[in-house]
Chains A and B, each alone.
Chain A
Amino acid sequence: MQNSKNSNVIGGTKKRVTDALSMVVLIIVFLAYMFPFIMVVINSLKEKRDIIKSPFSWLFTIKGLSFDNFVKAFTQMDFPRAIQNSLFITILATVFVTLLAAMLAYYIVRHNNGVSKVTFAAMVASMIIPFQAIMIPLVSIYGGTLNVLNHRVTLIFMHVGFSMAMSVFLFHGFIKGNVPIAIEEAAYIDGCTNVQTFFQIVFPLLKPIISTIVILNSMAFWNDYLLPSLVLTDKNLFTLPLSTYSFYGTYSADYGTIMAGLLLCIIPILVLYVALQKQIIGGVVSGAVK
């Protein structure tokens, strides 16, 4: 013990120097990471000619500083409607997949029968199938035979289906390890039905994993572009990524407006991130590590 203390004292200056050095490296790398965002913020407030003159000119050195870009982007993107569509789809899909996956996983854990085994194996195996390997037949089936594309409900249904396997997998692991069967037996003795037991006893115990699943899924649904682009072609139904895409196609030369539009897309997520940073980071890590 004495020894290691001594070496700490001797190594003190060296450690301080390397610490300072790594701090400098970190700050430089960090600024490089933030650089694109800084550019977006600065240029969203400038007029086009000032942007072309120099994207670096600071706000106080130019005259044309204004929020016009935001007003224009807000109306041209039909921002309120896109946000509404995104919220509607993300919230409903997240609620449904959380609920249905929890129930399915609970069934699988408590019923050790053939159906459970086959279902679970199929789900785990399906997790390696990339979306691109399914998208063509998906469009064929739902667009051709069933003809149900261009409905928000269809998109919600598909989001739920695609995220089911991963969600069941996470719930399955958690229920197996953390939900003691003794509690349920006590509930049955008190006269609870299976459904009552699940909703009143089991589901509340799942809180930690529910927060992980809600965060992972809602982020994926909110940002998804490819699936919504295949399902929704009616402009009135566009989610935020879709309307960003079509907005960019129309205004790509109008830099200030574009920057303002992109910033509008980022701000809601950023606000949520600042508020829920701990939960989001915790959720992402535990989702990946399992």
Chain B
Amino acid sequence: MLMMELYIALFLLSVVTFLSGKNAKVYSLAVSGAFLLIFLFYFSYRYWGLSAVHGTLQTIPISPAYGFNFSLQSSGLSAVLVVIATFVIFAAIFVSSGNYSQVFYGLIMLTMSGLIGLLLSANLLFFYIFWEVVLVPVYFLIGLYGNRRSDTVSLKFFVYTHIGSVLMLLSFFSLYTYYFYETNGSFSMSISSLMNPALFETMPVFWRGFVFFGLFVAFLVKLPSFPLHSWLPDSYETAPYPVTIVLAGALSIMGGYGFFGILLPVVKVIPQGFLLALIVLGIISLIYFSLSAMSQLSMKRMMAYASAAAMGFVTISFGSGAIELQNSFSPSLYNLAFAGGMYQVLVHGLIMAMIFSSLYYVTKSTGKEMIGSLGGIFRGAPVISSFLLVGLLASLGLPGMAGFVAEFSVLAGIYGEIGMWILLIIFAMLITASYHIWMAQRTLFGPYNEVLGNIHDAGASSSAILTVMMLAIIFLGVFPHSVFELFTNYASGVVIP
């Protein structure tokens, strides 16, 4: 209920941002804040303590004869991700310095409504459309407001992701066509009828492989995974901080949602070669990004790699969980792996939002972004430094913070499948811990770098938003039960063993 009306209202209100003139920041803050509360209460009411997998399906027919409908349906997974995406975007608007024009905020709001549409869409055509809707405003955000080489970087971002989405569209239409043949002349674009293991089982092997190939490439680009990642460090670094927060916190959800929201129902029929490749790419990503991060000189770029590395857990958990399922392991293993992967998608957004927000305040107060030109800033700015430290500790997976729940669930869930290859993941986690702590030592601690002069600490508003993020991270780390149960219910509900 209500979902459709809410969504249309959100979309229209987002578009209005372009006309909001000087009050753009206040306006978009109000809209996103209001929708954050609405979504939070709506979904809490809808899912709290219930074992429901899906919400009600609401449809606006566009061309039903050809299967093109605008239809929305929430699930346990998308509900949580919608809330977190709204929160991250609210935070990004909140920390932005207010000097930006209404176009900037309009683009951010448009990104948000695209992202939420994507998470709720029950129709593959609109899933694809929203995928592109998200892409375009971000292209402009990087291109118009980016720092260095913004033209090249935004173009690279666009082309890269677009290659993925074109392949995704091809996959969708192959499915669409096959459905047409299979059912003797009826069309459907709805996720529930196309993403159906029974449909895939009759499909020729090559066709099936082609469909999965397109989807995998699209999602892996967006995640990102090695070797399809090279848009990411540049985009994160070039984009202004609020946009980086949107990219790292909110848009990183897309790839993970692709796997767990779109592919999970058909996990049984994915060829094992694909799944193995997924695990291998995940492990390579973890190690490769962690080692690359260690040598970065700029904090922002280092954290961009950290963000990419964390997504390795998503691919590994999906691949191993799927193989465990196909080889009929115990559900207690693969459901844990799947739920862990989803949890990682969720908390990664939150943690990265926190890290980039506090990095933004560090940069704002010191004017420096390079690790070498900072040092000992804990003395001058203890509050910001503490928040950055909390973000770093959360990002390296310290227990008591949200990241640990995800990482531990993934590790415990996948050990049955990958065995002692887990050591490679552990190695990457050690590297991750090392460079996080090393960065903290070089920037926050040690003797104060007197070149910085007098720096000012965080104000009340920045402390407020960072406190909220910190509390959310700690809450999800200490009381993961309610959200985690949504994910496990979702996983055991949509997966047909």
A binds B: no
